[in-house]
Structure 1
Amino acid sequence: MPKRKNLLAFPEVSTHDLIGKHYGVRFEAFSAGPDQGIDGRHSKAGETTILQAKHYAGSPFATLKSAMKKERASIDALQPDRYLLATSVGLTPARKKSLAATIGPALKDEKRIFGQSDLNGLLRSYPEIEKSHIKLWLSSTGVLDRVLHAAAHAFAAITRAEIEAKVKVYAQNPSFSQSAAKLEEQHVLIISGPPGVGKTTLAEMLAYAYLAEGWELIPIMSLTDGFAAINDTKKQVFIFDDFLGRIALDRHALSMKDSELARFLRRIKASPNARFILTTRAYIFEEARRVSEHLADQRLDVTKYVLDVGIYTRRIRARILYNHLSVAGTNSSHIRALIETGTIEKIVDHKNYNPRIIEWMTDKLHANGIDASEYPTEFLATLNNPSRLWDIAFRNHIDARSRHLLYTLFFCAEFGEDLAAVRVSFEALHAYLCKKYGQTRDPKDFEESVKILEGGFINIRGTKISYINPSFRDYMADYLRDGAMLRDFVTAAALFEWAQAIWRFATRGREVGTTNPQLANAFIPIAPMLIGRSVSGDQWFRNSGSGSERLHLVLQLWTHSQSDVFAEAAYAIAEDTAVSWKPWRDGTHLIELTANLREGGYYDNFPDRERLAHMLECHVVEMLRSGVDTDDLEQMSDAIEEAERLLSPDLISATQSAIQKEIELAGKRAAETDSESTLEERISSLSKLAPRASVPSGRLDQAIAAINDRIRAIEEEAEREDGPDFTPAKPEVDVFNDAQLRDLFASLLTD
C-alpha cells in the first residue's frame, strides 16, 4: 500500500467529509463555543453528534492528552449524544484507552477515537474524499511519484523536494475547483489577478493534478512553442505563465502576439484532448484588451476563459499563513509573539494581505534577522507598506556590483536568460558605471554577485537566471523610472535585445515622459550594434533580433531624434544579405512598415523613403515566392488587403500566386499534419484566401475534400479524453472565528 501523508498535517483538510462519509451524516462547522476546537456538529431527531479535531502533527501523545484534560469540562457541558475525536497523533490501543478515560462518558466507545492510522484507513476506503482535497491527494506518495516522473520531462531541474514544498504551503480554496471546472468546460483557463495572489501556484497545482492523471505537461515560453507541440491524439496540458507580461504593451509589440494568441485559443478549443492554462497580472490583461482588437473581439470572448483570483476567505488566509510558518520552520518565539500580541488576527484581516508578503515575512532567511519582540511590528509594517519588502534589502543589504546585476536582469528575458548573455550585458554595464562613478571593479564581480543574490533576489535553474519573483520586477520598474539612468544603460548596451528592452520600457508613456528625444540620441553611438554589427568586432549579434524588429526600433529612434544615423541604419538592415527574413516573424510587419513609409503622417521627412519601402517590399515578395505556411500566408494576405492601395502590383501578384500554390499543395500538407484542429483552421483559411486569388470553386472543393479525408483519419486515431474531476465533496460552511484562528496557530508552538 502506498505511503500516505498524515491527514491532519494539513489543517485545511476537513475531517468533516471523511468521518461524515463513514457515518453517513453531514457535519456543519461548529460555531464559537466552550470547546474552542475546530469541530463539526450534526443534529437529527433531537440527537447531537460533536466531532472534534486536534491538530498535533509531530507532537508527543502527552501534548494531546493534556489538551483533552482541558477540554473535559467543555465536553461535559455540551452533553452530546455522540462524541467523536480525530487527531493526527499516532494512537495505540493503550493510548486510546487512556484518552477515553480522560474524555469521560460522552465518548461511549473507544472506536470513536480516530488516530492517524484510522484516518488513513478511511482515506483508502473513500478515495473520492482524498481527491476532493487536492493538496492531500497530491501529497500521497504514489501520486507524487507520478507527478515527479511526468514533471521531470517538462521542468528539467525540478526536484521532489520542490514539488513537496509547493504542495505543503498551498491552501486549497474555492478557486481550485472553479478553475478546474472552467478549464474542463472551455479547455482554456486564463488566471488573472493582482501580483502575488497565487496565480502561478494555482496554475502549478492544476498542472500537477493533470500530470497525476497521465496528461503530458508542456510549459511554453512562446505561442510558437505551443503550435509546434500540439497533437490531437495525445492528452496535453499547456501552461504559459504571465504570458502578457513577457511583451511590452505598446501597440507594435502586442500586435505581434495578440493574433497568435487568438489563433492558439481557437486551436485549443477545437482540439479534443488539449487544455491551456495561462496566468496574467490583472492590470496587464485589462491594458492588453484595451490595446488589442483581437483580444477585445466579441467573437473570441476571452472573458469566458478568465478566472480572477485573489479573494480569500478568512479561513483560507489563516491557512496560507499557517502553512508558511509551519513549512519555513519559523521559531516558536516569533510565532508566540504573533499570537500573544494579537497580530495573527491583524495579519489575516489586513487590507493588503498578500501571499507573497506572507511568504517573504515567514521565510527563515528574513524572519531570523528580526528579533521575536519586533517581529509582529515588522510584519504589520510590511503589510502597511509592501514596497519596503524589497526597498530595504535592495538599498541597504547588497553592494553596488550586485545592484548592477539586478539592473542588467531587468532588461533581460523576464522568465529566464542564459547566464552567458547576462554576463555580456553585465560586464558592459558594470564597467561603464564603475568608471563613471569611480567604483572599484574586479574580474570576479559577476560570479560574486550571483552568489550574493541567489535565493534572495534571483533564481538559477541550470544555465538560466531570473528574478526570484514578479514582485521584485514590479519594484525595479518603479525604481528605474529615471531618464538619466536609462541613458547610462543605453550607452553601455552590448546586446540588441537588451537595448530594445530599454527603449520599450522607456516609451510605455509613463517612465521618462518628454525625455524620449534625449534617450533616442543616446542610441546613436551604438547604432552599429542595432544594425547587427558588434562594436567590439565579434559576431554575437548576428543571431539576435529579427530584421523587422531591428527596423522597427531604428525607425522609432529616427522618429524621436530625426538623426540621419538611424536612417542610414534602416537602409543598412534592409540591404544586409546576412539577415534571414522569415514569414512567420517578419512578413506582416514588413508589409505594415512598407505601407507606413508610403502613407503620410508616419515618416514624412525620412530620407528617400520610397527607396526603403521598395527594398522591404522586395523582401516580402521573395518570402512569398519561396513558400509560406497557410497561417502565415493568411496573416500576410490580410495585411496586404488592408494596405493594397499602398502596395505594388508585383506584391499583389506574388500573393495571389502563393495562395494558388497553397491550395494546390493542400492534400500533401494535410497528410503531414496530425492536428485535427489545425486542419479545420486550414479549411477556414483556404476558403477565405481562394477568392483573393480567383481560385475556381472546383479546385477549392478538391483541396477541402483532401483535408477532410485527413481529419476523418485522425478522428479514428484520437479518442476524446476528459480531464480529472476535482469537484469538492460539498461546499464548506466557512465559520472561522478568533478562537478557532488562535487554536490553529497554537498547534505550531512546541514549548
Structure 2
Amino acid sequence: MTYTFTNLSPPDFEDLARDLVGSDLGVRFEGFCQGPDGGIDGRHASTGGAVILQAKHYPRSTFADLKRVMKKERAAIDRLQPFRYLLATSKGLTPENKASLEKVIGPALLSQGDIMGPEDLNGLLDRFPAVEKANIKLWLSSSAVLDRIINAATHFFTSMSREEVEAKVLVYAPNPSFREAQQKLEENHVLIVSGPPGVGKTTLAEMLSYAYIAEDWEFVAIRSLEDGFSAIVDAKKQVFFFDDFLGKVGLDHRALASKDSDLAKFIKRVRKTPNARFILTTRAYIFEEARTVSEHLGDRHLDITKYSLDVGIYTRQIKARILYNHLYVAGLPSGYVRALWIAGSIPKIIDHKNYNPRIIEAMTESVLMKEVFEDAYAEAFIYALDHPEAIWDKAFRWHITPMCQHLLIALFFGSEYGVEIDELRDAFGPLHAFLCRKYGIQFGVKDFEQALKVLEGGFVAIKGDVVSLINPSLRDYLTAYLNDFELLADLAVNSMKADWAEAVWKRTKNEADLVFDRRKKVACAFLSIAEKFQLLPLSRPRLCEPKTHRICDIAMSERVRLLLEWSEASQEPRFAQLAMEIANCTAPGIFFHSWLDGNNLLKMITRLREGGYENFPFRAELVDALEDRLIELFQHRMDIDVLEQLCRAIDATDSEFSPKLETAVREATIKSFDKAAELAESEDSQSTLRDHIDTFNYLAVRAGAEPDRVAQTVATIERRIENLDETEQETPPAISEPMSRANDKFNNDDLSNLFAPLVADSETVARPIVGIEDIPF
C-alpha cells in the first residue's frame, strides 16, 4: 500500500518519521522543544555526537515553501552541530529537489540519501511492516481502508460519509487502551468498553471496529440482540457493534429485564463462533447498576467482568494530542488558537480536573463557538470545563427559536438511535402547536422543515430519513432540562405514540423531586393517548424499503403495563378499563407476539399474583386474561429459542400457573420435536445447531418426552452438523505494539512544541527536531 500521508496531522507524521527512521538506524529518537527565539534546542552527545531528525509535513505545499523554511532552519542546525542530520518530509521530491536542499542544509547532511520524501518513507514502510501496524491512524486513513469502512456500513443506521470517517480518524489520539482492547477482544471474542460519559468509549470501539473492517471483516452495527441473532453466520468474519447497549443516559430497566438473558445467550454464541467478535459500550455507572439488578449479568458463571475494559484515564501527552487534533481538524480561525496560547490556557485545559474529550469536542465545534469572540475564547473554554453542564445551555436557551427547541424536545423522547422524519413530524406538530398557543407564540405550517434546516449540523444529524441528536452531551443536557413538572404534563397530553408516552412517563418517574400530587397529574394527562392504545400500529413500512416493515411502537403487553402504572399513580378508573380491554382483545387489530410479549406477560402475571399493583380494581380478571393471551402464544407455532426462554422463565419463578397454561406449555414442547428436522435443515451454523441439541435435551426433561424421540431428534441435528464444513478460524487484524517513546513526562516545553505550529501558519512554522545521543557511527 502506498501512502500520501495527507490524512496525518503534523504530530502524527512526526511520530511516523521517528519510528521509521529509528527502525532503519536501529536507534530510538526523542523529541526536542523549540527555543524561545524560534530556533531549535537539541542535545549534544557527550562522546560520539548526536543524530538529528527533522520532520516536515508539507503534503499540499510547494517545494519553494519547503526550501524557504529550510533556509530559516540552517542557523539552528549549524548551532546544534549534529554528527548527522536527516530530513523526512511528506512533500514529493525530485533528485533535483534533493540536490537543492543539500546545499541549503549544509555540512550536517552527510548525503542526499538522508533526505527522505514520500517514496522513501513508503519504502521504509515496506521494510518495517510493524511500524505501519503500530501507527493506527496511518492505515486507517488510507483510501483503500476508508472505502472498506464506507462499504461496510450496510445498515441505514450505520451509514456514514467518507468525510465523517476521516474526521473521526483525524481527531483520534492513539493510546494504550487500543492495544489492550484488541487483546481482550481476541481472548474472549467479546469486549465491553465502559467508562464515564464523554471519555471516548464509542471512539475507541469504532476505531477497533475499523481495524477489523480493514482486514475485510463484516461490520454489523446492531440496535437489538434480535439484530445480532439474525445476522450472525459462522462462516463469515463478523464484528458486531452495540453502542450504549444498556441505555444512553440511564439504565433501561425495562429493556434489561426482558433482554438480559438474550444478552447472555448472544455472548455465549459469539464465544463459540470462531469468526465472530462482539464490541459493546456503556457508561460505567449504568454497567455497575445493571450488574447489581440483573441476575444474568451478575452471574458468576458468565463472569461478564472479564470482558470489560474501563477507559477514561489519559496521560498528559494523550490529553494534549486530543486537544491538538480537535483544534487542527475543526478549522477554527487561527486567532482562536492564538488566544488560548497567549492566555496560557493550553496547560490549564489539559490539566483541568474536569478534562473530558466531549467538552474538548464541544468547545472546538464552530457552531457552538459562533458567538464567542476570539479574545473571549480562552475564558469561555475554561468556564466550560468549570461548568460542563453549561455548554449547551446558552445555545439551547438563547441561540435557537422556540420551534427549534420544540423539535429537539420531540426528538429527545423518540428512539435514542434516531427517529424517521415522518414520525418526528407527527410528534412535533401537536406539541409545537400546543406550546405556541400556551405561550402566545406565532407558528406556521412550515415550522418543522425550517426548524430541521436550522438545527442540522449544529444540534441534529440527518442520515437518510433518520434524525438524531448530534452529540450525547446534548442528550445529557436535555435530560437535566426536562425535569419541569408543568412541561412534563404538557408533553403527556400531546403524546402521539405509546413509546413516546412511555419515555415521558419514565422521565416523570425518574424525577425524585416530583411530589405525589404532581406525579398523579402527569399520569392523568396520559389519558388521551391511552384511549388510542388499541388502535396504534405496532409496525410500519420502512421509508427506505417500503416492502419491509419495522417495529415502530411498544408491544401490547408493554401498553398494558403502562396502563397499570398510570392507574396506580392516578386512581383514574378509565386506565384500568383500558387495560382490561387490551388484555381481553376486545378490539380488532390487537395482537400479542411470543417474541415481544411472552416474557412481559409472564412478569405481569407473576407480579399481580405476588401482590403488585395492589390498588388495581380487576386483579383476578386481569390475571386470567393475561394468562389466556399467554396460552394462545404457546398454541401457535413458536420459535425454539423463544420456547426455551419462556420455559426457563416459568421454571425460575415461585408463582404457580394454571393447569391449563402448564398443559399448553407441554403440548408446545412436544410439537417442537416434530419440527426438529426442518429446523436443522434450515440452519447452517454448527454452534447454533449444538445449542439446539442442548435446548431439546432441556425441553425433553421438562416435558417428559419419550427417550427414543429425543434420541432421534438429537441424531437428526448431529447428522446436519456432520454435513456442514468445519468453520475455519480466520486471522484477526495484526496490530503491533506502539513504538516506545522516550519522552513520557510531557512537560510545558513539550506542549509549546506541539501547539506552536497551530498558532502561526502551519506551513511556516518548523516541526520539532528530534535527536538521540551517543550513537556509535
Q: Does 1:530 align with 2:530?
A: no
Q: Per-residue displacement from partner, 1:242-297 (whole Å, max 9, x unpaired)?
A: 11116963644420121121111111111111111111122222222222121111
Q: What is aligned with 1:550?
A: 559
What is the aligned partner in structure 2 of residue 365 from structure 1?
367
Secondary structure of the equivalent of 1:172? coil
Describe the SS at the equivalent of 1:530. coil
Structure 1 residue 72, shift from structure 2 partner = 5.1
- 1:559 aligned to which of 558, 565, 568: 568
Determine helix, strand or coil for the equivalent of 2:491. helix
Deviation digits for residues 437-491 of structure 1 (CA, Å, limit 9, x no counterpart): 2221211111111111111111111111111111100000000112221111101
Q: Match for 2:172: what amino acid?
A: Y
CA contact (8 A) 1:168 1:327 kept: yes
2:546 is aligned to none
SS of aligned partner of 2:51? strand
Aligned to 2:580: 571
Shift of 1:527: 2.5
Describe the SS at the equivalent of 2:240.
strand
- Give SS of 1:646's match: coil
Q: CA 1:10–1:287 in structure 2 vs 1: closer, same or farther (change >3 Å)?
A: farther
Equivalent residue, structure 2, for 1:5: 5
1:711 aligned residue: 721
Map 1:146-185 to 2 at 5 A: 146-151=148-153, 157-185=159-187
Residues 119-138 of structure 1: matches in 2 within 5 Å? 119-138=121-140
The offset of 1:103, in angstroms, is 4.1
Instruction: Check if 1:743 corresponds to 2:744.
Output: no
Give matches, 1:442-461, under 5 Å: 442-461=444-463
Residues 645-681 of structure 1 deviation map (CA, whole Å, 9 limit, x = unaligned) = 5310011111112222223432321111122222222
Match of 2:482 in 1: 480
Question: Retained in 2: the 8 A contact 1:17–1:729?
Answer: no
One of 577, 591, 594 as aligned partner of 2:602: 591
Percent sequence identity over aligned pairs: 48
1:326 CA displacement: 1.9
Q: Is the 1:215–1:235 contact (alpha carbons within 8 Å) kept by the matching residues of 2?
A: yes
Match of 1:26 in 2: 27
Q: CA deviation at 1:729?
A: 4.9
Unaligned runs of at least 5 residues, structure 1? 535-539
Check conservation: 1:38, 1:740, Cα contact below 8 A.
no
Name the CA shift for 1:85/1:737 in 2 (closer, same or farther; >3 Å): farther
Structure 2 CA distance for aligned equivalents of residues 743 and 125 of structure 1: 30
Paired position in structure 1 for 2:739 = 730
1:651 is the counterpart of 2:657 = no
CA contact (8 A) 1:61 1:89 kept: yes
| Residues in 2 aligned to 1:471 and 1:7: alpha-carbon distance in whole angstroms | 27
Q: Report the alpha carbon displacement of residue 503 of structure 1 after superposing the two structures with TM.
A: 1.0
Task: Summarize the Cα distance change of 1:273–1:686 in structure 2 as closer, same or farther, 3 Å threshold.
Answer: same
The one-letter code matched in structure 2 to 1:521 is C
Match of 2:593 in 1: 582
Secondary structure of 2:495's match? coil
DSSP 3-state at the match of 2:144: helix
Q: How far 1:71 sits from its partner (Å)?
A: 5.3
| Aligned amino acid, residue 591 of structure 1 | L
* 8 A contact 1:402–1:452 mirrored in 2: yes
Structure 1 equivalent of residue 438 of structure 2: 436
Residue 698 of structure 2 aligns with an amino acid whose one-letter code is K
Q: Deviations over 1:506-531 (max 9, x none)?
A: 22363635443232222234320234
Given the two structures, how large is their TM-score scaled by the length of structure 1? 0.92
| Cα distance in 2 for residues equivalent to 1:192 and 1:170 | 18
1:379 pairs, out of 369, 378, 381, with 381
Mapped to 2, the partners of 1:38 and 1:490 lie a distance apart of: 65
Alpha-carbon deviation of 1:582? Answer: 1.1
SS in 2 for 1:510: coil
Q: 1:635 maps to what in 2?
A: 645
User: Are positions 1:690 and 2:692 aligned together?
Assistant: no
In structure 2, the residue matched to 1:220 is: 222
Distance in 2 (CA, whole Å) between partners of 1:700 and 1:43 is: 80
TM-aligned CA distance change 1:123 to 1:93, over 3 Å: same
Alignment match of 1:623 (pick from 607, 610, 633): 633
Deviates more, 1:91-100 or 1:271-280: 91-100
How far did 1:550 drift?
Answer: 0.5
- Displacement of 1:570: 0.8
Question: Residue 237 of structure 2 contacts residue 276 of structure 2 at CA under 8 Å; is this kept in 1?
Answer: yes
Q: What is the CA–CA distance in structure 1 between the aligned matches of 2:260 and 2:269, rounded to whole Å? A: 14
User: Compared with structure 1, are the counterparts of its residues 741 and 585 closer, same or farther at alpha carbon in structure 2 (3 Å cutoff)?
Assistant: same
SS in 1 for 2:204: helix
Greater relative contact order (Cα < 8 A, sep 6+) = 2
- The match for 2:671 is 661
- Taking a change above 3 Å as real, the CA distance of residues 64 and 377 of structure 1, as seen in their structure-2 partners, is farther
The one-letter code of the counterpart of 1:745 is F
2: CA distance, partners of 1:596 / 1:222: 26
627-636 or 637-646, which deviates more: 637-646
User: After the TM superposition, which residues 209-288 of structure 1 pair with which residues of structure 2 at under 5 Å, given as runs?
Assistant: 209-245=211-247, 249=251, 251-288=253-290
* Cα 1:19–1:266 shift into 2, 3 Å: same
Moved more, 100-109 or 545-554: 100-109
Q: Out of 191, 194, 202, which is 1:189 matched to?
A: 191
- Name the SS of the counterpart of 2:367 in structure 1: helix
Deviates further, 253-262 or 102-111: 102-111
For residue 390 of structure 1, the aligned residue among 389, 392, 414 is: 392
- Cα–Cα, structure 1 residues 7 and 419, in superposed 2: closer, same or farther, change >3 Å? closer
Q: Does 1:721 align with 2:737?
A: no
* 3-state secondary structure, aligned to 1:374: helix
State the secondary structure of the residue aligned to 2:280. Answer: strand
Task: Give the structure 2 partner of residue 353 of structure 1.
Answer: 355
* 2:277 alignment partner, SS class: strand
Structure 2 unaligned residues grouped into runs of 5+: 538-548, 765-777
Task: For residue 388 of structure 2, give the secondary structure of its aligned residue in structure 1.
Answer: coil
Question: 1:237–1:276: 8 Å Cα contact kept in structure 2?
Answer: yes
Which stretch of the first structure deviates more once superposed, 51-60 or 175-184? 51-60
Alpha-carbon spacing, 1:453–1:492, altered in 2? closer, same or farther (3 Å): same
Letter in 2 for 1:360: A
Distance 1:303 1:235 in 2: 25
288-297 vs 695-704, which deviates more?
A: 695-704
2:578 corresponds to which letter in structure 1? A
Q: Partner amino acid for 2:633?
A: M
Matches within 5 A, 1:55-70: 55-56=57-58, 58-59=60-61
Change (3 A) 1:387 1:182: same
State the SS of the aligned residue for 2:220: strand
How far residue 426 of structure 1 moved from its aligned partner, in angstroms, is 0.8
Q: Normalized against structure 2, the TM-score is what?
A: 0.89
Q: Is the 8 A contact 1:548 1:586 kept in 2?
A: yes
Q: Which residue of 1 aligns with 2:503?
A: 501
Whether the 8 Å CA contact 1:459–1:467 is kept in 2: the answer is yes
SS at structure 2 position matched to 1:239: strand
The one-letter code of the counterpart of 2:631 is: V
Larger CA deviation: 184-193 vs 97-106: 97-106
The question of whether the paired residues in 2 share the 8 Å contact of 1:248 and 1:254 is answered with no
Is this contact kept in 2: 1:659–1:693, CA < 8 A?
Answer: yes
In structure 2, do the counterparts of structure 1 residues 320 and 249 end up closer, same or farther at CA, with 3 Å as the change threshold? closer
